[in-house]
Amino acid sequence: MTNRYCRSVTSQNFDRLTGKVAVVTGAASGIGLAITEKFLAEGACVVAGDVDVAGLTSMTTLASDRFLMTAVCDVTTETDVENLFAVAQSHFGGVDVVVANAGAGTYGLLADHTLEEWSRIIDLCLTGVFITVKHASKTMRDGGSLLTIASLNAIQPSKGMAAYCAAKAGVAMLTRVAAMELGERGIRANTIAPGLVRTNATSGLFSVPAVVDEFVENAPLSRHAEPSEIAELATFLASDQSSFMSASFLSIDGGGNTGRYPDLPRIFQALDE
Ligand SMILES: NC(=O)c1ccc[n+]([C@@H]2O[C@H](COP(=O)([O-])OP(=O)(O)OC[C@H]3O[C@@H](n4cnc5c(N)ncnc54)[C@H](O)[C@@H]3O)[C@@H](O)[C@H]2O)c1
């Protein structure tokens, strides 16, 4: 029986971003793609940036160019990021929401970690976010919402993931600085920190059942996430529903931050034996 005081809010949940223009990096796959799809469903206009040209091309079926523009953008190249924001300005007239999402992981124990690999991950996962946040700061309209995608690894260390952990911890602090600098313009800045999510980036981990098993054992909710669950949180943070939230670090990891990260060297060594 339906309680007359309980009405469905479904219709309200599909226009939370109407009138807003969003820029999403790393938008052609995984979490970035799910965020783009959800933002479009909630009424936003989106400028999607990625290095994956084929992925961007396939995205053009998601919406007409009245709502979705794609641009090739390597977040480690400042002119590409400038161009991404210029597309948003020229096509949609401004920017209200920015999601600095592009990133990738790596594995290597400290003693074996090359400087090149360290620099590649820091460039992509930290400097790329800095460049995106810098141009977001210059371009966003007052009252906007800036999101960065860090990771459980921003707060939970893992053997073999020094560069990624350091970069993601840096993203969390960079976002808090952005919140301080942009607050006077009413711009909010928050960090999303996912645990294990099934995407292209984690297909390697998912091919090793022992890794997924340890994630699941360590998470009170005993499972991994799907990208759409991260997109729900991103939508809430992008919308006016989170109007008093800034400088927040939001774990979305099934509670995995209460445990410990899978022992990757032990698991990988066992595979070699
Ligand atoms: N999947 C997870 O379990 C998980 C967990 C925590 C955090 N994250 C973070 O979420 C973000 C998205 O990861 P995902 O799992 O969706 O990965 P994904 O590989 O599915 O998507 C990443 C996208 O970023 C793009 N990209 C890579 N380098 C780029 C660059 N230099 N410039 C612009 N785009 C670039 C890729 O082409 C790809 O489309 C990353 O920052 C990642 O670190 C993922």
Q: pLDDT for 35-93, tens place per residue?
A: 999 999 999 999 999 999 999 999 999 999 999 999 999 999 999 999 999 999 999 99
Query: How many angstroms is it from 104 CA to the middle of ligand 1?
Result: 5
The pair of structure tokens assigned to 54 is: 């084929």
Whether 181 and 137 have beta carbons less than 8 Å apart is answered as: yes
CA dist 263 and 236 (Å) reads 33
Residue 166 scores a pLDDT above 50: yes
Tell me which DSSP letter residue 248 carries. Answer: -
Ligand 1 atom with least separation from CA of 104: 43
Mean pLDDT confidence for 88-99: 98
Rounded CA separation 125/170 (Å): 9
Angle between helices 209-218 and 264-272 (to 10 degrees): 150
What value does the mean pLDDT of the chain take? 94
CB-based pocket (< 6 A), ligand 1: 25-26, 28-32, 50-52, 55, 73-76, 101-104, 124, 128, 149, 151, 194, 196-197, 199-202
Can you tell me the distance from the alpha carbon of 23 to that of 35, in angstroms, rounded to the nearest whole number? 10
Do 105 and 203 touch, CB atoms closer than 8 A? no
The pLDDT-based confidence of 13 (bands split at 50, 70, 90) is low
Residue-level length of the chain: 273
Ligand 1 pocket test target in 35, 70, 121, 149 with most atoms within 8 Å of CB: 149
Q: Three-state secondary structure along 255-266? A: CHHHCCCCCHHH
Q: What is the signed CA dihedral for 223, 226, 230, 236, rounded to 10 degrees?
A: -100
Radius of gyration in angstroms for the set of CA atoms belonging to the chain, rounded to a whole number: 19
Distance (angstroms) between ligand 1 centre and the Cα of 246 equals 23
* CATH 3.40.50.720 at 16-201+225-260, yes or no: yes
Q: Whose CA is nearest to atom 25 of ligand 1?
A: 26
Q: Which residue's CA is the closest to the ligand 1 atom numbered 14?
A: 30
DSSP string covering 21-32: EEEEESTTSHHH
Model pLDDT, residue 273: 82
Instruction: Find out whether 40 and 234 touch, Cβ atoms under 8 Å.
Output: no
Q: Using the mean position of ligand 1's atoms as its centre, give its distance from the Cα of residue 229 in Å.
A: 15
Atom of ligand 1 nearest to the CA of 75: 32
pLDDT in tens, 201-254: 999 999 999 999 999 999 999 999 999 999 999 999 999 999 999 999 999 999
Q: Which helix (H) or strand (E) holds 118?
A: helix 115-122
Q: Would you call 71 helix, strand, or coil by DSSP?
A: strand
Domain ranges of the chain: 16-201+225-260
